[in-house]
Structure 1
Amino acid sequence: MKRILFLQFFDPAAYPPLDRGAAQLLERGCTVRFLGVRSQGTGAEMRLSAHPRLTERLISRPTTRATISAYFAAAIEELVRFRPDVVYCSQERVYPIGLAASFLPHVQTVLHEHDTPWLDAGRKRSLLVKARAAFARRATLCVIPQTERAITFAAETGGRRIAVAYNTPALSEIGPPPAPRSGPGLVLWHHGSIGPRRLPASLIHALAKTPDDVELRVAGYETISTYGYVDSLKALAGSLGVGHRFSYLGAAKRDDLYAAARAADVGVLLFDSNFIEPMAGASNKPFDFLACGLPLIINDTAEWRDFFGDRNLSLSCRPDDPDDIARVIMWYRDHPEERARMAQRGHQAMLDEWNYEQSFAPVLEALEASSSIGSRT
């Protein structure tokens, strides 16, 4: 059985694509080990999917400098003791390790960049820029979750073996065909990482402009930089008189999140208008919502309109305009039959093309081409 070592300077449980990719490698008889950094905040409650051939080691986070030193020492130890056949790197801080591993005999390397790093200033940053580019050129495969980002990545690094892998659910996570929820009104749903750029306060203001039978439910986790944001949304909802229509369910396992999502009507996906990078394809959220039978509310921008095209799975609005958000909410509330048809189309699209078996296929093909992993068991 081949050994796969996943390296990332964060908690891998916070990144579902890592869990899903590991699951497909495990299905092919591989042994998987993760070396990460323990989460702080509400994200610390998340866990990777259990499997007898999957193990995990998390470094604590006393200070940034101490954590980096401890992580690099642990990575060297893992390379020596675990002796991986594939080193799978998912964050710029670990790219120097991946670059070094690419020179080891009979070891393949994968660079999977979930978020584009900010690497434009300072001596340390300059070294990471160089390591990123060198690793990109040597890696067996570079994996980027978004098409525009992949084009930029190639231009910045000179990497040529690049695959775009959308952050979609696995087929096993896609639920049964959606059935309309019984009951009046409308239940809006949002889950995942929570912060002002991913769940704008304008949504609470929009909620206050809708009838009392419209409800917003939110689940997920805050990061260190966004800790306390949910409390601010609760306070805002209370001040606007809609506190009873805003619910925060906390962080939960993915199965529990999906079960709660299936009890809603519409998935809300509104990013800050000046979000730092393209997200269509890279964000887990729209795919999660569609898999649970929810049509979408998305940003009224070319990026999102072009991605979903004329599939009729979503309605768009300006994310900083409560009146425009309320307009879309009311359309969904007042058109339950059309909403149900949109849900059916979205669910079928997930089964046909937007699933992680298809997203991760280029990675498996690249590794199998050199006989690093076996066939599906």
Structure 2
Amino acid sequence: MSATTTSVRGRIAHLSTVHQSWDNRILNKECRALSEAGFDVHLVIQADEDRITHGVQVHAIKPRGRATRLLASQLEAWRMLDRIRPELLHFHDPELIPMAIAYGRRRGIPVVYDAHEDLVKQIATKPYLRGIKGHLARAAARRLVARADAQCDAVVTVIDEIAAGFRTSLDGRQRPVVVAHNLPWLADFPASRPQAADRVAVYTGDVSLERGLERMLAAVRDDDARLVVAGRCLVDDARLAEHPRLDYRGLVPPADLPGIIAEGRVGLVLLSRLPNYEHSLPTKVFEYMACGVPFLASDFAYWRELFGGLEAGVFVDADDPVAVRRELKALLDDPQRCARLGANGRRAVEERFCFENEQAVLVDLMEHLLDRGRLP
């Protein structure tokens, strides 16, 4: 598929200068869903080379640091978009809000902002943004989000709470604000996998202190359990290579995640009690359940309401290391209980929590926008 291909349902460009080319939500879920539905889908993103994945044409832009990315990557992306000539632009980074809106106006095409997180709350998770720097960053974030809210033709986000922060009408016209939950493709997670024979806990996702690195290492410190971790490392921590009970796999393609998760008897999601986490929809929990692996998760009220009735895992005070070690050991020591909890989780994904159910939301939105065009 090339930039000159004519698609029955329209040419769509997804854009990110921040995320990596194997990003699970952008490439493996949203772009893939639209490609499977018959759209001509292009992804402009940091990558080593151009390629086609899931029928999506990936256009590589050079990886850069933040200082040069804000200008150089956006100029490179603009030129690529001009070559692709999309009929709709769907972008994923808050820092792209001014550029994407300007591009949409210049070319007369609809522009969609994908709010992966609550940007203002997300800043609270950044240890380098404290004091006056944090205050200024939050103020800048509010201005950016307000601009997207006022000028983008549609907003896509991951949970209802974030969607509620955007207006559904502009200048007397309805403006779509839709939720595409960050759920796993059921087709990517085969049901028939043997339960892990070893006492292994697994974690997938970004690796950082606020996402529970210290808690997870402490939980396996005094036991014969092992910890398998796969994800992008956001900290400079030598223990990722040196810890005797840690097997760190690094950032892996989404297709590798089911096999890695299946190595674990328990999946961990021991996030800090921060505003952006307490009301999040933790993708990794759904992926654990899709693999039939029970979770050990932070005891957030929102998560208890969402997952508590499923009997697919255990909640714990993540700030209590004794309780975390106790609950993890109890699960690892009881494979029959893990099998029962895991089966409950797998059934919940099959019946409710899979991306196959979200695909129609994105397809309907794209068709609506391509038919209507951009807001005046």
Between the aligned partners of 1:126 and 1:335, the Cα distance in structure 2 is 49
Distance 1:11 1:301, change over 3 A: closer
Once the two structures are superposed, the pairs formed by residues 119-134 of structure 1 within 5 Å of their partners are: 122=136, 129-134=142-147
TM value normalised by structure 2: 0.81
Deviations 1:48-104 (A, max 9, x none): 87245512221331x534322222322332343221111001111111133224436
Alpha-carbon shift at residue 323 of structure 1 (Å): 0.9
Q: 2:228 aligns with which of 197, 214, 217?
A: 217
1:205 counterpart residue number:
218
Letter in 1 for 2:233: E
Which residue of structure 1 aligns with residue 339 of structure 2? 340
What displacement does 1:201 show?
1.0
- Residue 112 (structure 1) aligned with residue 114 (structure 2): yes
State the alpha-carbon separation in 2 of the partners of residues 11 and 102 from structure 1. Answer: 21
Single out whichever of 130-139 and 290-299 deviates more from structure 2.
130-139
Q: Describe the SS at the equivalent of 2:213.
A: coil
Structure 2: distance between partners of 1:253 and 1:48: 14
If the length of structure 1 is used for normalisation, what is the TM-score? 0.81
Deviation per residue, 1:284-303 (Å, 9 max, x gap): 21112111211100001212
The number of equivalent residue pairs is 348
- Judged with a 3 Å threshold, the aligned counterparts in structure 2 of structure 1 residues 215 and 53 are, in CA distance, closer, same or farther, namely closer
Change (3 A) 1:25 1:12: farther
Separation in 2, partners of 1:55, 1:14: 10
Aligned equivalents of 1:104 and 1:321: distance in 2?
54
Q: 1:196 aligns with which of 190, 200, 209?
A: 209
Aligned to 1:258: 258
Distance in 2, Cα, partners of 1:121 & 1:260 = 40
Between the two proteins, what is the percent identity of the paired residues? 21
Q: Quick check: 124-133 or 74-83, which moved more?
A: 124-133
Contact 1:99 1:131 in 2 (8 A): no
Q: Which residue of 2 aligns with 1:240?
A: none
SS at 1:10's partner residue? strand
Match of 1:6 in 2: 14
Shifted more, 252-261 versus 305-314: the winner is 252-261
Q: Unaligned regions of 5+ residues in structure 2, if any?
A: 1-6, 124-133
Instruction: Assess if the C-alpha contact under 8 Å between 1:137 and 1:160 holds in 2.
Output: no
Does structure 2 retain, via aligned residues, the 8 Å contact 1:177–1:293? no
| Distance change in 2, residues 1:48/1:309 (3 Å) | farther
Name the structure, 1 or 2, with higher relative contact order (CA <8 Å, separation 6+): 1
Q: Does 1:180 align with 2:190?
A: no
**Matching of residues 141-290 of structure 1 within 5 Å:** 141-153=154-166, 161-181=176-196, 183=197, 186-210=199-223, 212=224, 214-223=225-234, 226=235, 228-229=236-237, 231-232=238-239, 235=242, 237=243, 243=244, 245-274=245-274, 276-281=276-281, 283-290=282-289
Shift, 1:10, TM fit? 1.0
What is residue 53 of structure 2 aligned with on the other side? 50
Structure 1's unaligned 5+ residue stretches are 39-43, 238-242
Distance (Å, rounded) in 2 between the aligned partners of 1:351 and 1:313: 13
In angstroms, what is the RMSD of aligned CA positions?
A: 3.1
Is the alpha carbon distance of 1:177 and 1:49 closer, same or farther for their aligned partners in structure 2, counting shifts above 3 Å? farther
